[in-house]
Structure 1
Amino acid sequence: MAASEISGPRTYGNWRKPTSPGIHGLGMAGTMGLLGGLVLVVLSMLISLWLAIFVAVGVGLSLLPLLLRDTHGRNGLQRATARLAFRNGRKAGKNVYRSGPLGRTASGTCQLPGLAAQSTLAEATDAHGRPFALLSVPSANHHTAVLQCDADGASLVDSDQVDTWVAYWGQWLAALAYEPNLVACSVTIEAAPDPGIRLEREVSGNIDPQAPPLAQAVLREVVQTYPAGSATLTTRVALTYSGAAQAGQKRRDAQAMGTELGLRLPGLASNLSMTGAGPATPMTASDLAEAVRVAYDPSVAVLVEEARGSGGSGITWDEAGPIAAEEAWGHYRHDGAFSITWSMSEAPRGEVFSSVLASLLLPHPDISRKRVTLLYRPHDPASAARVVERDRKDSLFKAQQAKMGNARDSIAVRAAEQAAREEATGAGVVRFGMLVTATVTERDELDRAAAAIGNISAPARVALRRVYGAQASAFAAALPLGLVLPHHLRVPQAVRDAM
């Protein structure tokens, strides 16, 4: 009997959340603060006992917020700083955006708000002669190209074929570590109502006037009734490269990056076809501008589809943003729509099947438009070895702190050791995250959409945290724009990881 006949369904897992070593959950920053506080207490005892007690109480109170963690692992200091920053921004009016000729923008255009305000969009040509959009963010010197895929789907597909797709997807992600100057990769799956414009255009363009009347009547009825209640799924892959100076290379501008990406896109797109993503084609500047415009104002989706059939909508990058937007503590209002964005705080524990995210990706009747974005940051081979070895040492240090053996700590140690062995044999190491955005057309529907996300995320075994105080930035990061959030933080990512 073949091995495939006796083995059960294939499972996946063994992902590790980066942790910081520290004493009793304080992290590296908290531990260093504790050691520094102990030194101050000892020095204060040389002056006065009461002074030492006062210093000890002050050190304890300052470290207390680092110990108070919620269910998503955020400590009290992080929650307090987020609320303070949002309150100060709201007082300064930074949560309100008005564009257009009568808006607050100096240019009078409808440019994107927030993190993408300084972005520029150009168009280059790849090695196959296909035009593609090149999105540049000058503040980070990042340049992004977006591929649009026509995924095959897993319906009526053998499990062996699905396993093959997953294996090729893992190889494609691991190969990104060898891509020169690649910073990040994101995959955006968007579920939206199907207006039926494309179906009507396809049928009307291919119907035979000499066909029997009954056949023509059936086709017309299909065009009228099929789009009702149906949805469309779009998949976009954004590849973000850095134009910063490297060893032996000068700093490159958008034109130089367009030439370089044009040589790399065909190979990356062809390899995606083996992952079940179907044919991958580069998005043009017009396609990307239309997709972003529809994301900020879903009411123009039908108009954009109709315009595509007559030669294009003509939307430019300066017109892709919203006319008005307002960020609240727990949601984001943009033009005539309301959105809530969640971030993944914990990946599924244990082993999962390849269909673990199916419920989260499928359309939902209580949500007008739903966007699930997977964020990847591959480590190069040199840093990958350091990451897994540091993770293995951190897990051992944490397990040795407990007086009695902890089952979760022992499993974490074994998982870290397995990851180190796999990396030593050539496996790639990738940091990943996930953003989920639910968009509705009425404010009263926000609670129902939030409940729907909670229901469909439970089968996916994903812990989602509502991005309070940063809804506008999270909404932009969930779009296929290639925004790398760690490069836009005021507090460096290394400091955040140490907490």
Structure 2
Amino acid sequence: MAAVDTGRPRTYGNWRKPRSPGIGGLGLAGTMAMMVGMILMVICMLINFFLALGVGVLVGLGLLPLLIKDKWGRNGLQRGTARVAWWRARKAGKHLYRSGPLGRTPYGTCQLPGLAAASSLAEYSDAHSRPFALVSLPTLNHHTVVISCDADGASLVDSDQVDTWVAHWGQWLSGLAHEPGLIAASVTVEAAPDTGSRLSAEVRGQLSPDAPPLAREVLQQIVRTYPAGSALLTTQVALTFSGAARNGAARRDADQVADEVASRLPGLTSGLAMTGAGAARPMTASELAELVRTAYDPSIATLVAEGRAAGGTGITWDDAGPIAAEESWTHYRHDGAWSRTWSMGEAPRGEVFSTVMASLLLPHSDVARKRVTLLYRPHDPASAARIVEDDRKNALFQAQQARVAAARDSVAVRAAEQAAQEEATGAGLVRFALLATATVMSREELPKADAVMENLSIPSRIRLRLVQGSQASAFAACLPIGIVTPDHLMVPQAIREAM
């Protein structure tokens, strides 16, 4: 059957947040605890009525924090444990970081703080003899390669071309589930003021010594005035591979993972070219170290750009971290800058257009640097089939608890059934999240950053939730260095989801 073009713009959607089955909003863990408590009450009833009553009161008080939820769906137990963990970390002084010659890091280096403290950086060559950086985290045996993209942008582009880009992007994401050892991916779009160093270097390289004085004056005026008020948008795609043993194969180290990645990297970069990402190439070790160093100290952005134009900055991975950092409950101070990081509390409801993220990604004059990172965790085909079936059963169970099904439950059932049908016909399943970091140069500008992020998220229909108690970890996860946050949790993610 031939497709008919109706002339209407294409819409996207059908994502849903996983829900744990349970009675009365308790979740699986709370429901099991309630059942155990009821069994204890029945046993105590055979002994003494008042003993059974006391057990019932204790069980009710224990389940009460699980029933009290905020607008983000977090229950009282989750909020309470976060507060206790923050209080213990602050009491132990873990919210402070000092490095450099007068710090506590070995050999006076400026290594990265927090989750990335144990990371290392090495450089290899892929099958096309292109150098690429590999960030290794030995504590989890994770290894990340970062791809730099020059996105084409959607200005003056036909809607059919945009739809084609989106289709290829979905296909590229779906293909990640078949990449051996790949556990996570991220896309980071950073907006920062343009230093003008690239334009100046380009003009100096192209300017002829025999040029007329008028032409030279015009070019010099362009170099002075054009960078003023302009912004620089950069895009990085990070792919994280695990060196853990799989399918009978032994555990692999960084060199072995690099050998496997080197052969597959040309195919991954060429696939990105069809998604509107433009020219995609792997980042070198020096480029990645400069990017991370600038994120922690934005004041050196001009110096880094000038050094890069002059032949290199000499920044290594041991110098990529901040000299000093201090984490607070709602913000993060690193060197001479202040940052706040938000997470996606709720994805856009219903259907959206391809331009849904445009406003959130655009630069803003009230924010020195803004970084938006989409985090992806693709499921392999076997896990995807099990997950969509479990989601469908959970949605049906939730809708059948009430005599009259709520509208939101009915929509969840339809979305779960559609996801199961699409997966059965070959579609991939990807879990995604979003982090957004706004960096300003003084603490007094933090309220402006709050207002900017709120205003930019409204057109995107994304509800941003301020990260509380883990700003340093969220800041590091927003960088394109392959931090897979669920693998760093003290409480396993399966238990957290069951609550």
TM range (shorter): over 0.9
Shift of 1:208: 1.9
Please say which of residues 185-194 and 215-224 is displaced more in the overlay.
215-224
Q: How do 1:327-406 residues align onto structure 2 when only pairs under 5 Å count? A: 327-406=327-406
Residue equivalent to 1:465:
465
CA distance, structure 1, for counterparts of residue 46 and residue 464 of structure 2: 50
CA distance, structure 2, for counterparts of residue 60 and residue 176 of structure 1: 45
The one-letter amino acid paired with 2:345 is S
Question: Are 1:181 and 2:181 counterparts?
Answer: yes
Residue equivalent to 2:136:
136
Q: How do 1:272-291 residues align onto structure 2 when only pairs under 5 Å count? A: 272-291=272-291
CA distance, structure 1, for counterparts of residue 7 and residue 403 of structure 2: 40
CA distance, structure 2, for counterparts of residue 414 and residue 386 of structure 1: 17
Shift of 1:3: 5.8
Residue equivalent to 2:436:
436
Shift of 1:247: 1.4
Residue equivalent to 1:213:
213
CA-based RMSD: 0.9
Shift of 1:7: 3.0
CA distance, structure 1, for counterparts of residue 270 and residue 233 of structure 2: 21
Residues 222-244 of structure 1: per-residue CA shift (max 9 Å, x gap): 11011111100000000000000
CA distance, structure 2, for counterparts of residue 485 and residue 369 of structure 1: 23
Shift of 1:5: 4.7
Please say which of residues 354-363 and 39-48 is displaced more in the overlay.
39-48
Cα separation, partners in 2 of 1:49 and 1:107, compared to 1, 3 Å: farther
Question: Are 1:31 and 2:31 counterparts?
Answer: yes
Name the SS for the 1:24 alignment partner: coil
Shift of 1:215: 2.1
Residue equivalent to 1:315:
315
CA distance, structure 2, for counterparts of residue 215 and residue 57 of structure 1: 86
Cα separation, partners in 2 of 1:107 and 1:495, compared to 1, 3 Å: farther
Question: Are 1:112 and 2:93 counterparts?
Answer: no
Residue equivalent to 2:153:
153
CA distance, structure 2, for counterparts of residue 109 and residue 215 of structure 1: 47
Residues 145-188 of structure 1: per-residue CA shift (max 9 Å, x gap): 00000000000000000000000000000000100010000000
Shift of 1:249: 1.1
Shift of 1:425: 0.2
Q: Which runs of 5+ in 1 are unaligned?
A: none
The one-letter amino acid paired with 2:224 is Q
Question: Are 1:56 and 2:61 counterparts?
Answer: no
CA distance, structure 2, for counterparts of residue 270 and residue 401 of structure 1: 49
Shift of 1:310: 1.5
CA distance, structure 2, for counterparts of residue 164 and residue 313 of structure 1: 39
Residue equivalent to 2:300:
300
CA distance, structure 2, for counterparts of residue 3 and residue 37 of structure 1: 58
The one-letter amino acid paired with 1:123 is E
CA distance, structure 1, for counterparts of residue 450 and residue 160 of structure 2: 35
CA distance, structure 1, for counterparts of residue 447 and residue 78 of structure 2: 26
Shift of 1:437: 0.2
Name the SS for the 1:236 alignment partner: strand
CA distance, structure 1, for counterparts of residue 487 and residue 103 of structure 2: 29
Q: Percent of pairs identical after alignment?
A: 69
CA distance, structure 1, for counterparts of residue 300 and residue 421 of structure 2: 52
Residue equivalent to 1:252:
252
CA distance, structure 2, for counterparts of residue 88 and residue 311 of structure 1: 46
The one-letter amino acid paired with 1:121 is L
Name the SS for the 1:476 alignment partner: helix
CA distance, structure 1, for counterparts of residue 280 and residue 224 of structure 2: 30
Shift of 1:45: 1.1
Question: Are 1:262 and 2:250 counterparts?
Answer: no
Shift of 1:248: 2.8
Name the SS for the 2:177 alignment partner: helix
CA distance, structure 2, for counterparts of residue 10 and residue 250 of structure 1: 46
Residue equivalent to 1:408:
408
Instruction: With the length of structure 2 as denominator, give the TM-score of the two structures.
Output: 0.99
The one-letter amino acid paired with 2:90 is R
The one-letter amino acid paired with 2:126 is D
Shift of 1:21: 0.3
Shift of 1:143: 0.4
Name the SS for the 1:211 alignment partner: coil
Q: How do 1:75-86 residues align onto structure 2 when only pairs under 5 Å count? A: 75-86=75-86
CA distance, structure 2, for counterparts of residue 63 and residue 119 of structure 1: 40
Q: Which runs of 4+ in 1 moved over 4 A?
A: 2-5
